[in-house]
Structure 1
Amino acid sequence: MSIKPLSVTAPHPNTQRGQASHLTYDSVNDRLAYTNGKSIIIRPADFKSNSPIIVFPKHNHITTAVKFSPSGNYIASGDESGQVKIWDAAPKKGDENFNVPVIKSEFQIISGPIKSIAWDADNSRIIAVGQGKEKFGHAFSWDSGNSIGDIQGHSSTINAVDIKPQRPYRAATVSDDFAMVFFQGPPFKFEKSLRGLHSNVVRDVKFSPNGDFIVSVGSDRVICLYEGKTGEFIKKIEKAHEGGIFAVQWAPDSKYFITASADGSLKKWSINDGVAVTTYNSVETPTIDNQQVGLAITKDYVLSLNSNGDLNYFDENGELIKVVQGNRAPITKILLENDTLLSGSSDGKIFKYKIDEEGLEALPTLQGSKEEEHSNYVVDILSENSVNYTIGWDDKLKVWENGKVTNSIDLPSQPKQLEKIGTSIIVLFESEIQLHDLSLQLQTDYKLKFPTTCVAPLSNSTFLITNIASNTIVEYKISDNNITQSDKEFPKLRSPPTLIKVSPNGEYVAVADSTGKYTLYKSDGSVITSRWAFHTSKVYDAQWTKDSKYLISGGLDTGLLLYSVEKPSKVIKFPLAHSAAVTSLAWKKFDGDKKIGTFISSGLDGTIRTWEITS
């Protein structure tokens, strides 16, 4: 048997309130790239495409900028430490969505976050700018890192940079100091600084594809147009939007450009008369969540990014035809329910995905009002008769029906786990257990005499719980809503137990300790094996197959391990399954006779991945 990757569902772009989030588009291969956590995500620009998704996880700090080279073969990405990495992004055949792209070069550019990156048309020179101390930008060759000019003329953080697509090359930068600076080159040299045109922070700047014009936009709602070859100011459009402007993009024919604004709209502008000829509205009523902070003009769509991470697809007439949603934060829990997958993340969002043969398709998120949603980390998700129960670090237990919150109660402290036992729900705390009925009425509250990490139902009236003070497993019984400890004893473990998983037939109990090693018990407490010791650190989740013969496991070491009850010394491994810890697992199907199946995993890298078991 072996574990084979099938598909990956990428997280959405990270956004920060009040900040632009630049998308980059590869017109050669019709792909989109953006930042997410410490990773860079490449996905097809067409939401209908099944082309593979590429995840580049090799930044050690939060990524802040990304740019395709004009050829589409390379990407330059920057992070909050001021480092820029250039890596191979050329499309390949095979399992490229699971293979990490190769780094070609990397350089320390400035002492703070990289805000923007630009390539020249030769795919050989790069300018990276941002928030530095001694300088705010640097021009260099992509392979050797040799300096090819000085980026000077600003007194504050540079927010955006662009290079004229034709020779003779020119460059333009815009900054928090309200200025646009024009450079000649290469080597790039300061030519002029244009001040007094913008009255607030300038967010973005772009040369037209034919090189004739430059356009800059800012928080002052002003659009400024300049001559592309000389940098001379031509005209400006004031009060272009009802809110600050975050991004601007030119049409490929250079006849118009589009702006994205905090007022929730995009506008298409004519070069000749400076009039908005089309308005693209993502919603009727602007909110903070639908501020438009990123923009790309693709082969088939005008694509914008909401501040909440949604991707909006507009046609050429300005009609909104698709909103693609998805997790953008580390995923903490997944739950498979028929052909629907629920995923909860560290920002409190819960998303639904439809499962089909081609992968996962995002459905509308579970949502109530702002007061009803979890405000942060989703700890666990439970499903019963199409009703979902969730707990979070906001100390809430919520009931969801048809995608809406129908009930919510406050919990006494931070919950650790949610389980169904009989007709009740167990909520586990650090040293306490609560039993609720399905309508969330409290049935009993039981105080433990030790700290714990996990609970697992053994039957409709008994459950097991970890005792991390004595490194043991304790059994409790429920009778008439009263909880009592049984006399059954499990042999002591080598380290504190952190996870318990009872097999579907109730015959086996797999217990993982804090070092990642399992002890497999029979339900009577006798040890079957302690040879499941292939994880190198804490296990976060494990799931049994329906036939109770195999256990898939994942955790902090980012690997996937398939253990066998019949052959305890045999283990199927897939190391580095995610670029950060594997947090949750779910079996889609498994045929024990043929030893084939598929399962789904989630990780702190924000991705959801589908895997195949082959014999």
Structure 2
Amino acid sequence: MTCELKHVFASLPQMERGVAKVIGGDPKGKNFLYTNGKCVIIRNIDNPAIADIYTEHAHTVTVAKYTPSGFYIASGDVTGKIRIWDTTQKEHILKYEYTPISGKIKDIAWTEDSKRIAVAGEGREKFAAVLLWDSGSSVGDLAGHSKIINSVDIRQKRPYRLVLASDDTTGSFFEGPPFKFKFTLRDHGQFVNCVRFSPDGSRFATAGADSQIFIYDGATGERISSLGGEKAHKGGIYAVSWSPDSSQLISASGDKTVKLWDVGAGTAVTTFNVGSDVTDQQLGCLWQNDHLLSISLSGYINYLDKNNPDRPIRTVKGHSKSIQCVTVHKSEGRPYIYSGSHDGHINYWDAETGENDCFSGKGHSNLVSKMVVDKDNELVSSSMDDTLRYTNMDKKEYSASDVVKMDVQPKSVSVGAGGLSLAVCIDQIVLLKDKKKVFTLDSLDYKPEVGAIHPGGSTAAVGGSDGKVHLYSVQGNTLKDVDKTVDVKGPITDLAYSNDGAYLAVIDERKAATVFTVADDYAVKADFYGHHAKPVILAWSPDNEHFATGGMDMMVFIWTVSDSDNRIKLPDAHRLHHVTGLAWVDEHTLVTTSHDACVKQWTIQF
């Protein structure tokens, strides 16, 4: 029995309102990279469904940049730690690790020979440092600012020049190496958010919260011009990126636009209108080869189209917050993966290509706790916004009418034949038929955690924090307590019937998985042990002979019902992140989701 990683559908960048996001470009022109949580995500620029994830940081990563040689990436985190690691090997072996400043790293720059690295950000005694990449020894003193430094860049040819941009409304110009302070740039009236040298080194640009962009001489630091006269944008500018030929640049702004500038003329050639919603604010951009990329506050990555500035060529969507649940459904023979996240966002993915989108309209406003597909081709989702939603999977649109408001927060939902749904809420069990509440059980003498309706439709099993499965008979529109419970080892975290209804699998906080034979009056078929920490999710394979469990130990196990010793272990399925969702595309393909906001598919061979 073996398993190997088949696909990674990567997370979007993690965004924060009013905070610029740096996108790094591969000098070879193939990839771009950004950060989300503890992960650095590397994506193919021509086909962003192809992705690789670096997960060796112990703390939230804030910025990552390629070396000009393209062989290494430097990534910095919120503690001031910088890791320099290999891009050519799959394992991404660590080359060096330093802590040059004592706070969040906001930007990184390299000299063109890939030997010196500058970092800038927040710190206690200093806000920036420049060092030799192989020894970590300092090659200059980057003092002179009194507040956080937002951006740093180094001229990509000799003589080297280094420029910093800070929250204290100034920039500073250094000559070197070793880098020595030359003078302060005092043209901006607000925070300076970004500084970037042109690829040929002849000029550099600074952009700020005062909606202005200034162009300076790359060798002397003298101011040459400003773009767009008085104001370049109607809102603060968070990022600029130069064209490969150094004649143009793009700027990303909080006014929800990206502008393409002719630097010589000082005028905007094109204005890209990305949208009108607050989540359409533009917080990052990258010009790589022919690709113009920008990042919205929503985390969406826009491929801008010079010929049609009001509509991107493509928008890369996905999740930027942790995924909480996942399910799979076939539509016209093609398998689709549906994932729901912490912020109420539901995304669907073509399991083969990774093409993805989200439902249109207004959906959940809080964490999506569970999703299942019913016989009417509807996605039934429960959320911490105290609702159940029924969403037509062909229309791909939220319906305002197909929402059921619950009295208390639902934790779990399952579906059965005849239009039935079972919602397990805090201290309450609700039976629904045809999207309407028909029966409620409260005043229970145990705390219900999760429920499942038997595929035959006659029985409902509810797992409680008392370590028991409580069985109910489904009689028309009511649930009748049959006065039967099944004991497991500890408080129940998840349970599910096999697709053919022959077995019930239960996992509990005592790290055990137990399978019961339904026809044999729920006699224990087998117990399964392997998790080091609480398992939280389980999913049956379509073959009814295997099931998968995932837990807070970051592991996934695939168990064989007839042989409890015969198992597959996926250690570090999502490194440093708990497994939150499991679903089977087919009997040899397992989908896993996690707090890292990524969706992974694994090929399983029995």
TM-score by structure 1 length?
0.92
2:500 to 488, 505, 509: 505
**Are residue 569 (structure 1) and residue 565 (structure 2) matched?**
yes
Q: Contact 1:159–1:203 at 8 Å: present in 2 too?
A: yes
**SS at 1:568 equivalent:** strand
Q: Which amino acid in 2 is paired with 1:11?
A: S
**SS at 2:505 equivalent:** strand
Q: Contact 2:509–2:534 at 8 Å: present in 1 too?
A: yes
State the identity %.
Answer: 34
1:181-220 alignment to 2 at 5 Å? 181-195=172-186, 197-220=187-210
CA pair 415-454 structure 1, distance change in 2 beyond 3 A:
same
**SS at 1:289 equivalent:** helix
Q: Which residue pairs with 1:224 in the alignment?
A: 214
Between 313-322 and 548-557, the greater mean CA deviation after superposition: 313-322
Q: Which amino acid in 2 is paired with 1:410?
A: K
**Are residue 582 (structure 1) and residue 576 (structure 2) matched?**
no
**Are residue 233 (structure 1) and residue 223 (structure 2) matched?**
yes
Q: Contact 1:488–1:525 at 8 Å: present in 2 too?
A: no
2:104 to 108, 113, 116: 113
**Are residue 78 (structure 1) and residue 73 (structure 2) matched?**
no
Q: Contact 2:29–2:288 at 8 Å: present in 1 too?
A: no
Counterpart-to-counterpart distance in 1, 2:308 and 2:189:
30
Cα deviation for residue 41 of structure 1 reads 0.4
Q: Contact 2:10–2:599 at 8 Å: present in 1 too?
A: yes
1:353 to 349, 353, 357: 349
What is the aligned-residue RMSD (CA, Å)?
Answer: 1.7
Q: Contact 1:279–1:318 at 8 Å: present in 2 too?
A: no
State the Cα deviation string for residues 168-191 of structure 1 (Å, max 9, x = none).
111001011110100111111111
Counterpart-to-counterpart distance in 2, 1:489 and 1:417:
20
Q: Which residue pairs with 2:265 in the alignment?
A: 273
Cα deviation for residue 249 of structure 1 reads 0.7
Cα deviation for residue 477 of structure 1 reads 1.4
Q: Which amino acid in 1 is paired with 2:319?
A: N
Counterpart-to-counterpart distance in 1, 2:580 and 2:44:
26
**Are residue 528 (structure 1) and residue 518 (structure 2) matched?**
no
Counterpart-to-counterpart distance in 2, 1:403 and 1:447:
38
Q: Which amino acid in 2 is paired with 1:374?
A: H
Counterpart-to-counterpart distance in 2, 1:33 and 1:65:
9
Uncovered stretches (5+) of structure 1, i.e. residues with no partner: 591-596
Between 443-452 and 560-569, the greater mean CA deviation after superposition: 443-452
**SS at 1:394 equivalent:** coil
Counterpart-to-counterpart distance in 1, 2:235 and 2:492:
54
Structure 1 runs of 4+ with >6 Å offset: none
**Are residue 322 (structure 1) and residue 320 (structure 2) matched?**
no
Counterpart-to-counterpart distance in 2, 1:368 and 1:442:
28
Q: Contact 1:113–1:130 at 8 Å: present in 2 too?
A: yes
1:35-54 alignment to 2 at 5 Å? 35-47=35-47, 52-54=50-52
Q: Contact 2:554–2:574 at 8 Å: present in 1 too?
A: yes
Between 306-315 and 9-18, the greater mean CA deviation after superposition: 306-315
**SS at 2:565 equivalent:** coil
State the Cα deviation string for residues 401-445 of structure 1 (Å, max 9, x = none).
322222323322221101113332111023210112223344334
Counterpart-to-counterpart distance in 2, 1:318 and 1:132:
43
1:495 to 459, 483, 490: 490
Q: Which residue pairs with 2:11 in the alignment?
A: 11
CA pair 440-63 structure 1, distance change in 2 beyond 3 A:
farther
Q: Contact 2:244–2:289 at 8 Å: present in 1 too?
A: no
**Are residue 145 (structure 1) and residue 144 (structure 2) matched?**
no
**SS at 2:106 equivalent:** strand
Between 547-556 and 478-487, the greater mean CA deviation after superposition: 478-487
Uncovered stretches (5+) of structure 2, i.e. residues with no partner: none
Cα deviation for residue 497 of structure 1 reads 2.3
Q: Contact 1:301–1:316 at 8 Å: present in 2 too?
A: no
**Are residue 516 (structure 1) and residue 501 (structure 2) matched?**
no
Q: Contact 1:433–1:447 at 8 Å: present in 2 too?
A: no
Counterpart-to-counterpart distance in 1, 2:436 and 2:396:
18
State the Cα deviation string for residues 225-270 of structure 1 (Å, max 9, x = none).
1111111122223211121111101111111111111122221222
2:414 to 408, 414, 419: 419
Cα deviation for residue 346 of structure 1 reads 0.8
Counterpart-to-counterpart distance in 2, 1:512 and 1:608:
23
Counterpart-to-counterpart distance in 2, 1:131 and 1:60:
18
CA pair 164-318 structure 1, distance change in 2 beyond 3 A:
farther
Cα deviation for residue 146 of structure 1 reads 1.0
State the Cα deviation string for residues 490-509 of structure 1 (Å, max 9, x = none).
2x333222221211222212
**SS at 1:404 equivalent:** coil
TM-score by structure 2 length?
0.94
Q: Which residue pairs with 1:548 in the alignment?
A: 544
Q: Which amino acid in 1 is paired with 2:360?
A: Q
Q: Which amino acid in 2 is paired with 1:260?
A: A
Between 313-322 and 568-577, the greater mean CA deviation after superposition: 313-322
Q: Contact 2:430–2:437 at 8 Å: present in 1 too?
A: no
Q: Which residue pairs with 1:288 in the alignment?
A: 278
Cα deviation for residue 80 of structure 1 reads 1.4
Counterpart-to-counterpart distance in 2, 1:169 and 1:557:
48
Q: Which residue pairs with 2:389 in the alignment?
A: 398
Counterpart-to-counterpart distance in 2, 1:220 and 1:489:
66
**Are residue 438 (structure 1) and residue 431 (structure 2) matched?**
no
2:356 to 362, 367, 373: 362
CA pair 19-447 structure 1, distance change in 2 beyond 3 A:
same
Q: Contact 2:413–2:452 at 8 Å: present in 1 too?
A: no
Q: Contact 1:432–1:448 at 8 Å: present in 2 too?
A: yes
**SS at 2:313 equivalent:** strand
Q: Which amino acid in 1 is paired with 2:262?
A: S
Cα deviation for residue 473 of structure 1 reads 1.8
Counterpart-to-counterpart distance in 1, 2:406 and 2:551:
27
Between 554-563 and 151-160, the greater mean CA deviation after superposition: 554-563
Q: Contact 1:175–1:201 at 8 Å: present in 2 too?
A: yes
**Are residue 476 (structure 1) and residue 467 (structure 2) matched?**
no
Counterpart-to-counterpart distance in 1, 2:514 and 2:437:
36
Counterpart-to-counterpart distance in 1, 2:386 and 2:142:
50
Between 392-401 and 424-433, the greater mean CA deviation after superposition: 392-401
